[in-house]
Amino acid sequence: MQSPLPVRNGVNATRLRLPADGPWATAMEYVLSRFGHVDPDGITDRFLRGEVVGLGGVPLTPKTALNEHTFIWYYRELPPEERLPVDINILHQDENLLVVDKPHFLPTTPGGMYVAESALVRLRVLLDIPDLIPMHRLDRMTAGVLLFSTNPETRGKYQTLFEKRRIRKEYEAVAPVRDDLELPRIVRSRMIKSRTYLLAQEVEGEPNAETRIELLESRDGIGRYRLQPHTGKTHQLRVHMASLGIGILNDSFYPNLLPQSPDNYEEPLQLLARSVDFVDPLTKHPVQYRSGLSLSHAPKS
């Protein structure tokens, strides 16, 4: 559903669905009941200034009836964020596609305590492209190649590549070496990830996650691995490596969930989205985008 409010400072307006009925006479009463514990004066002021709108950009007032609108939009008041000490490098940009090297520690999209400090918002502001949309996502702790659509008119053609698995992704990871582990190998398992539980889990059942794992080089018990996912489950690579007893270095989730602690920028997760290959749906030519980053703990030859 198209927002009637434009992107502001790189951030989309928030959409909220109102209930059809209830004990609230007005839309503002409902919003106050849900979020009034956070900033009741700020909510009231937004309605008074006409900054809460419905479809077509129609402003709501404090007296607008609850059932007059199904969806409303407004801008959140964002708390100040400390800038993360990492930078994004642009690998490619044209009228349809933006490809960047996302650093470790920077989330792909806004969420939780990171809004302005996300790759999406940073790039929208830096490049003045409010319609910028990520084509896929990388975990906050994973670095590497990340694709964005810059043109809504051609976006669907690139989205189809991901939906039909016509994108070939290659990752690199640094992890311990097991001499008794036969590689390369393909790991298949059934993975689930609950919205309410931090970790992904492997369970019994038909496999829905597949990764090819290959050892590229090793030294002093530490190896550099090539990981080629056939599927894209949340935390798939981290879970599959841990399941083999070779958990990725500096992984605070797998195989064991460590206590939450401040980010250590000297010890990033040793996982990198090294390259992305596909046939461009517009030019029909094969393309490859490769990360210029490296993993700090990789074996030194």
Sorted by sequence, the CB contacts under 8 Å of residue 39 that are 6+ apart come out as 77
Long-range contacts, 200-204 (Cβ 8 Å, 24+): 200/233, 200/234, 200/235, 200/236, 200/239, 202/239, 202/243
Q: What confidence category does residue 37 fall into, taking pLDDT thresholds of 50, 70 and 90?
A: confident
Neighbours of 207 (CB within 10 A): 12
Long-range contacts, 216-219 (Cβ 8 Å, 24+): 216/172, 217/299, 217/301, 218/177, 218/299, 219/299, 219/300, 219/301
Task: Please provide the average confidence, as pLDDT, over all residues in the chain.
Answer: 95
- Asked if the model's pLDDT at residue 214 lies above 90, the reply is yes
> What single-letter amino acid sits at 154?
T
Helical spans, DSSP H, in 106-235: 119-127, 155-163
Cβ atoms 151, 135 nearer than 8 A: no
Distance CA 232, CA 108 (A): 15
Q: What confidence category does residue 136 fall into, taking pLDDT thresholds of 50, 70 and 90?
A: very high
pLDDT for residue 139: 94
b vs e for 92-118, b when ≥16 Cβ sit within 10 Å of the residue's Cβ? eeeebbbbbbbbbbbbbebeeebbbbb
pLDDT for residue 78: 80
- Asked if the model's pLDDT at residue 244 lies above 90, the reply is yes
Give all strands (DSSP E) within 177-290, no chain letters: 185-193, 200-203, 209-219, 222-229, 271-279, 286-290
Report, as an integer, the average pLDDT of 11-25.
94
* pLDDT tens column, 148-170: 999 999 999 999 999 999 999 99
- Asked if the model's pLDDT at residue 111 lies above 90, the reply is no
In degrees, rounded to 5, the angle at the alpha carbon of residue 111 between the alpha carbons of residues 105 and 117 is 50
Distance CA 270, CA 227 (A): 12
Report, as an integer, the average pLDDT of 8-18.
94
Q: Which fold has domain 89-290?
A: Pseudouridine synthase (3.30.2350)
Half-sphere exposure of 75 (CA within 13 A, CB side): 16
> What single-letter amino acid sits at 221?
G
**Where along the chain do its domains lie?**
14-74, 89-290
pLDDT for residue 174: 98
Q: What is the distance of C-alpha 4 from the center of its chain? A: 24
pLDDT for residue 301: 65
pLDDT for residue 28: 96
Report, as an integer, the average pLDDT of 59-86.
93
H or E stretch at 237: helix 236-243
* pLDDT tens column, 169-205: 999 999 999 999 999 999 999 999 987 788 999 999 9
Provide the 8-state DSSP code for 58: P
Q: What confidence category does residue 39 fall into, taking pLDDT thresholds of 50, 70 and 90?
A: confident
Cβ atoms 278, 162 nearer than 8 A: no
Percent of the chain with pLDDT over 70: 100
Q: What confidence category does residue 237 fall into, taking pLDDT thresholds of 50, 70 and 90?
A: very high
Instruction: Give the lowest-confidence range in 12-16, 78-82, 130-134, 224-228.
Output: 78-82
Cis preceding-peptide flag for 184 (omega within 30 of 0) = yes
